[in-house]
Amino acid sequence: MTNQSFSNTGALATFIFRLDRLRMLWWLVGLTFFTLIVPAALANLYSSDQERQAVAETMTNPAMTAMVGPGDLDNYTVAAMTAHQMLLMTAVIAGLMGILLIMRHTRGDEEDGKLELIQALPTGRMAYLHAAVLVQLLLAVVLALVIGFGLAALNIDSVTVAGSLLYGALLGASAFFFAGVAAVFAQLSANTRSATGMSIAVLLGAYLFRAVTDVVNDDLSWLSPFGWVTKAEVYTSNQWHLLLIMIGAALLLFVAAYYLNAIRDLQRGFLPERTGKRTASRLLLHPLGLALRLQRTGLIAWAAGMAVLGVSYGSVLEDMETFFASNEMIQQMLAPEEDLTLAEQFLPTLFVVIAIVAVIPPVMAMNKLRSEERHERLEHLLGRAVSRHQLFGAYLTFALFNGALMMFLATLGLWAAGDASMDEGLSFTTIISSGMVFFPAAFVMIGLAAFLIGFAPKLLTGVWLYILYTFFVLYLGNLLDLHDWYGYITPFGHIPEAPAETITALPLITLSVIAAVLCALGFAGFRRRDID
Amino acid sequence: MEMIRITNLTKKFGSFTALNGVDLTVNGGEVLGFIGPNGSGKTTTIRVLLGILKKTEGDVAVFGKDAWADAVEIHKRIAYVPGDVNLWPNLTGGEVIDLFLSLRGTIDTDKRDQLIEKFHLDPTKKCRTYSKGNRQKVGLIAALASDADLFILDEPTSGLDPLMERLFQEHVNELRAEGKCIFLSSHILSEVEKLCDRVAIIREGEIIESGSLADLRHLTRTHLLVKTKTPLTDLTFFDGVHEVHESENGLSFQVDSEKIDEIIRHISRFGIEKIESAPPKLEDLFMRHYEGKKEVPSGGETDD
Ligand SMILES: Nc1ncnc2c1ncn2[C@@H]1O[C@H](COP(=O)(O)OP(=O)(O)OP(=O)(O)O)[C@@H](O)[C@H]1O
Ligand SMILES: [Mg+2]
């Protein structure tokens, strides 16, 4: 009987592989590309030890440690630089890939009813889950090998073969580990959206946890899987046993997922499915209320997440201040701005990261309109006395509100934590305004989503690619000495770097106008087209 | 009064023509049965009627207004149940019904509660946990509890059990008695025969037949499968007997409804051992429509 549980896994794995091969290829190409260009570019840009140590100097501060983790700053070779600046972030993205890919074929297919069809075929009860896991394993191994050998093939002195292989393996293991996290949540929750949400919350939680503990007490970082990634000291001492810990932990997660899967019924979870209200509240009876209600849980979760992100970054400001106080060179470098504390001058770097994360929930909120359409639920509304204006307007309004709220909460969290911990405190208005200047950029992203929903809904993924592009350019632009031009083609590149720079109105107004035009065009397109 | 007037409606999806010059009118107080095989364009027609899809050519008017431009005005007087009722997994049935009702106008709570009770729906459950039939009920209750002038129902009874199906039919008859207009797409011919005054048949995006049920009488034949003690003869000489086939189980053939009495009398003389009858299948109607143009192979089995 136990053997039968897995029968036909092979055929199913081939099937899943065929369905996902392009999607997996894109992830693989993307991750490999960004991993390989960085050391290649760094080797070109910083050819001497001195130049590299100068970069190390700018990295030696708690804010950077919180963001990218600890690194071998005393011996900042090209390899050390790459591992320090890229490995952790790439591991987070690899983890996200693992979550998204495995969720499609676990709870995703189950909720859609596809799994029911498959289970009615002569396949084992566990076969589909097992097949999905095997495909993830294959992807993780390929990712590890391609990146490992790819890095080694760059032929840069400090980029050793052993280090490269460990680098690749850690990325593969991160993808596999978070696929395991997602596989467990896919058993616990009967709802794909919430299972994905909880998995991503764990991913970001693991990242933020170590952001704080890396600065405050790095022994505690052992509790986060991302702590294992940085503690492996790739290219320095190459701690392979951390890779084994990660793989072991991933296997435990999968065992748990298989067990939970075996003891539950199809289309059920373990989190209680509560009964709800007999009648609708007044709020729900309007398209805007419905949009709000459908996204309520997500809104609350993201709001909490953004506040935590702000607080995490805010809580390292005090360490930065102490650090700067003891470092005369930096004091001289940053001296000119009299009325700002040194930590405040570092804020734009943190705000950019916060702003890019904060743009994700409003874009999701806008895209929800398309997802409702694809689930054939807009028909219910448009078939009643709801106009396309109202519908589009409701989702757009909610997305804008969402965007402003997310940025505000993160900024507020940063201010509160910073103000509480720092001797001098932080100016509320300075901090809040420095954060909120990013709103027009978020508005452009929401506008782009709105435009695509109206005119080319099939290309909606383009927004995410654009956001990803923005992230890479802003994250790596300085380091790779990218031409300013790269920054100019993303709205975030035009935002004044407050509080270090003064806030000027022109770019903000221009961006808002562009965004408004995009929204208007999207509106017009949505009125004119077929609803799928 | 004309409730729906479709003239020369064409709808293309890219290069694929889903509807090709459809003409259709529905008058006030009429119940129209809209039938056709899978993929023939029923749902597409309905979606164009509702302004969810944009017509490629032609004119579509509901209540004398343009179905696309005046969609919202029109929908205030329409109740619609889609073929696949996809609901929000984390709202309860009760919430969805209220939402649907309020988006049209005001909520008649008495009527709503009565219907919920009659259809045996638990409105406190999340839609995620509803069976297909229960989801269908949510759509039906929201439609029936509303005070619309025109009801557009796309395969409303798919997934309902026979009891619920009957309940639904009772409600449709009530609506008809109130003089409401109903546009009913269905695959169940017996249901259409029971409920509808007029029938329109669509095939590959074209209306191939439309008229009152009496007009379409020639389309309604009954399938018979008969086994007799002594071999049945002469059957083919009767008017109104078609497609006679012999098999191990007996003789199968189709009889025009008005000839059935005559035929049964004839058969009974041969000593009936077994007789099975089946209503005409949609497929047969279409096949018959092409009768004479080409020979249609028929298996001759009834499916009972
Ligand atoms: N959005 C679309 N894009 C392309 N083709 C479509 C689209 N919607 C429907 N079609 C095609 O149009 C044709 C008519 O489909 P429609 O859904 O109207 O059929 P139907 O009569 O309702 O069938 P059923 O009885 O199965 O419900 C089908 O061939 C279908 O594949
Ligand atoms: Mg249909």
Residues B148, B229, single domain; the answer is no
Atom of ligand 1 nearest to the CA of B205: 14
Which has more confidence, B242 or A169? A169
Residue range A10-35: mean pLDDT, rounded? 93
Residue B282 has pLDDT above 70, yes or no: no
CA-based radius of gyration for chain B: 22
B95 to A528: CB separation less than 8 angstroms, yes or no: no
Q: Does ipTM surpass 0.85 in this model?
A: no
User: Which region among A154-168, A337-351, A383-397, B186-200 has the lowest average model confidence (pLDDT)?
Assistant: A337-351
CB A453 within 8 A of CB A367: yes
Residues B141, B50, single domain; the answer is yes
The pair of three-digit structure tokens given for residue A363, joined into one six-digit string: 């874009």
Identify whether A122 is preceded by a cis peptide bond (ω within 30 of 0). Answer: no
Which pLDDT does position A67 carry in this prediction? 84
The pTM of this model reads 0.80
Q: Which residues, in sequence order, are CB contacts of A401 under 8 Å at separation 6+?
A: none
Which pLDDT does position B218 carry in this prediction? 59
Q: What average pLDDT does the structure give for chain A?
A: 89
Cα(B76)–Cα(B111) distance, integer angstroms? 18
Residues B140, B271, single domain; the answer is no
Residues B151, B233, single domain; the answer is no
Cα(B161)–Cα(B164) distance, integer angstroms? 5
Q: Is residue B145 part of a domain?
A: yes
Which candidate from A277, A286, A385 shows the least CB-CB separation from B95? A277
Residues B73, B199, single domain; the answer is yes
Share of chain A above pLDDT 90, in %: 57
Residue A55 carries which side chain, given as an amino acid letter? V
Nearest-CA neighbor of A454 among A513, A519, A502? A519
Coil/strand/helix, residue B203: strand
Q: A463: CA distance to ligand 2 center in Å?
A: 33
Which pLDDT does position A346 carry in this prediction? 76
Beta pairing, strands B2-13 & B16-27: antiparallel
Q: Give the Cα-Cα-Cα angle B91, B94, B96 (nearest 5 degrees).
A: 55
For the segment A257-282, what is each residue's pLDDT rounded down to a tens digit?
999 998 888 878 887 767 788 888 88
Q: Is residue B289 part of a domain?
A: no
Coil/strand/helix, residue B153: strand
Which residues of chain A have a CB within 8 Å of the CB of B87? Answer: 377
- Ligand nearest the Cα of residue B41 is 1
Residues B251, B128, single domain; the answer is no
Residues B250, B117, single domain; the answer is no
Q: B50: CA distance to ligand 2 center in Å?
A: 14
Residues B203, B225, single domain; the answer is no
Residues B106, B228, single domain; the answer is no
Q: Is residue B109 part of a domain?
A: yes
Q: Which domain holds residue B263?
A: 221-279
User: Which region among A3-12, A315-324, B169-178 has the lowest average model confidence (pLDDT)?
Assistant: A315-324
Nearest-CA neighbor of B168 among B186, B123, B197? B186
Residue range A454-478: mean pLDDT, rounded? 89
Sign of CA dihedral A506, A507, A513, A516: negative
Q: Which residues, in sequence order, are CB contacts of B98 under 8 Å at separation 6+?
A: A279, A280, A284, A285, B107, B112
- B303: confidence class by pLDDT, cuts 50, 70, 90: very low
Residue B288 has pLDDT above 60, yes or no: yes
Write the residue with the smallest CA distance to atom 16 of ligand 1: B41
Residues B232, B192, single domain; the answer is no
Which pLDDT does position A2 carry in this prediction? 54
Which pLDDT does position B292 carry in this prediction? 39
- A337: confidence class by pLDDT, cuts 50, 70, 90: low
Which pLDDT does position A480 carry in this prediction? 79
Q: Which of B216, B235, B265 is the last residue of a domain?
A: B216
Domain holding B48: CATH number? Answer: 3.40.50.300
For the segment A49-94, what is each residue's pLDDT rounded down to a tens digit?
888 888 888 788 787 888 889 999 999 999 999 999 899 999 999 9
As to burial, measured by CB atoms within 10 angstroms (0-12 exposed, 13-18 middle, 19+ buried), residue B300 is middle
Q: Which residue of A has its CA nearest to B12?
A: A530
Domain holding B260: CATH number? Answer: 3.30.70.260
Q: Give the Cα-Cα-Cα angle A493, A499, A500 (nearest 5 degrees).
A: 75
A377 to B87: CB separation less than 8 angstroms, yes or no: yes
CB A442 within 8 A of CB A407: yes
The pair of three-digit structure tokens given for residue A55, joined into one six-digit string: 């970069």
Which pLDDT does position A64 carry in this prediction? 82
Which pLDDT does position A487 carry in this prediction? 83
Which candidate from B89, B103, B128 shows the least CB-CB separation from A384? B103
Q: What are phi and psi of B27, to 5 degrees?
A: -100, 160
Which pLDDT does position B297 carry in this prediction? 40
Residues B124, B269, single domain; the answer is no
Query: Sheet of B150-154: strands edge to edge?
Result: B78-81, B150-154, B181-185, B31-35, B198-203, B206-212
Give CB contacts under 8 A, 24+ apart, made by A71-77: A71/A230, A72/A233, A72/A235, A72/A236, A75/A236, A76/A52, A77/A52, A77/A157, A77/A158, A77/A235
Instruction: Give the number of domains in chain B.
Output: 2
Residues constituting chain B: 304
Residue spans of the domains in chain A: they are: 14-267, 284-532
Which pLDDT does position A4 carry in this prediction? 79
Residue B231 carries which side chain, given as an amino acid letter? P
Q: Which of B216, B237, B268 is the last residue of a domain?
A: B216
Coil/strand/helix, residue A313: helix
Residue A153 has pLDDT above 90, yes or no: yes
Q: What are phi and psi of B34, to 5 degrees?
A: -115, 110
Write the residue with the smallest CA distance to atom 29 of ligand 1: B39
Share of chain B above pLDDT 90, in %: 45
Give CB contacts under 8 A, 24+ apart, made by B170-174: B171/B144, B172/B31
Q: Which of B201, B216, B231 is the last residue of a domain?
A: B216
Indicate the DSSP class of residue B146. Answer: S
Cα(B204)–Cα(B214) distance, integer angstroms? 24
The pair of three-digit structure tokens given for residue A141, joined into one six-digit string: 């191994």
Coil/strand/helix, residue B27: strand
CB B185 within 8 A of CB B42: yes
Coil/strand/helix, residue B253: strand
Residue range A166-184: mean pLDDT, rounded? 97
Residues B56, B127, single domain; the answer is yes
Q: A379: CA distance to ligand 2 center in Å?
A: 14
